[in-house]
Amino acid sequence: MSNIEQTLSIIKPDAVERNLENDIKEIFKNKGFSILNEKKIQIEKTEAEKFYKVHETKPFYNDLCEYLSSGPIVVMILEKENAVLGNRELMGATNPQDALEGTIRKKYGISIDKNSVHGSDSVENAKIEIDFFFKD
C-alpha cells in the first residue's frame, strides 16, 4: 500500500553559507523526493525559539536558536513514500561524527550544532512544522 508523506526539511545556515543549497537539493531529488514548495528566508530569534520550543529546557537551546536565526536558511516541503523516516535516514545522525557514510550530515556536517540540515522527526511534527513555515 502506498504511503506518501510530506516532511519539512531545512538547509541550515552553515550549509547555505557554503553554497551547498543546490548540492543538497540534488541529493533529495536523486533519492526520489519531490520538493513541493521552498523558500529562502532568514528568521528572527523569537521565531527560532518557537520552532525549537520542544528543546527549551536543553542547555543548548539558546545557542541553537541564535544559530538558526544567524543567516539565511532554505525551508522545503519534501514529498515521497515514507518521507519522514526516509529523510531522517538520508540526513544521518544529529552528530555528524556518528552519521553513516552516504548521509548528508556525514558529507557536509561540521559539528553537532552546525549539522547542515533539519528534518521533521514524525508525521505529526511534520504537519506542525510545514504549517509553521508555509501556512499564511
Dihedral angle of Cα 60, 66, 69, 75, to the nearest 10 degrees: -10
78 in contact with ligand IDP (CB under 6 A) = no
> Which is closer to ligand IDP, CB of 52 or CB of 134?
52
77 in contact with ligand IDP (CB under 6 A) = no
CA end-to-end span of the chain, whole Å?
33
Which of residues 118, 129, 130, 133 is near ligand IDP by CB under 6 A?
A: 118
For cell 552553515, the residue is 14
> Which is closer to Mg ion, CB of 27 or CB of 115?
115
Report the C-alpha gap between 128 and 94 in whole angstroms. Answer: 21
Which of residues 3, 42, 62, 94 is near ligand IDP by CB under 6 A?
A: 94
Residue 25 binds which of Mg ion, ligand IDP, none (CB < 5-8 A, kind-dependent): none
45 in contact with ligand IDP (CB under 6 A) = no
For cell 543548548, the residue is 60
Report the C-alpha gap between 124 and 40 in whole angstroms. Answer: 24
Residues lying near ligand IDP in the complex (CB under 6 A) are found at 55, 60, 64, 94, 112-113, 115, 118, 121
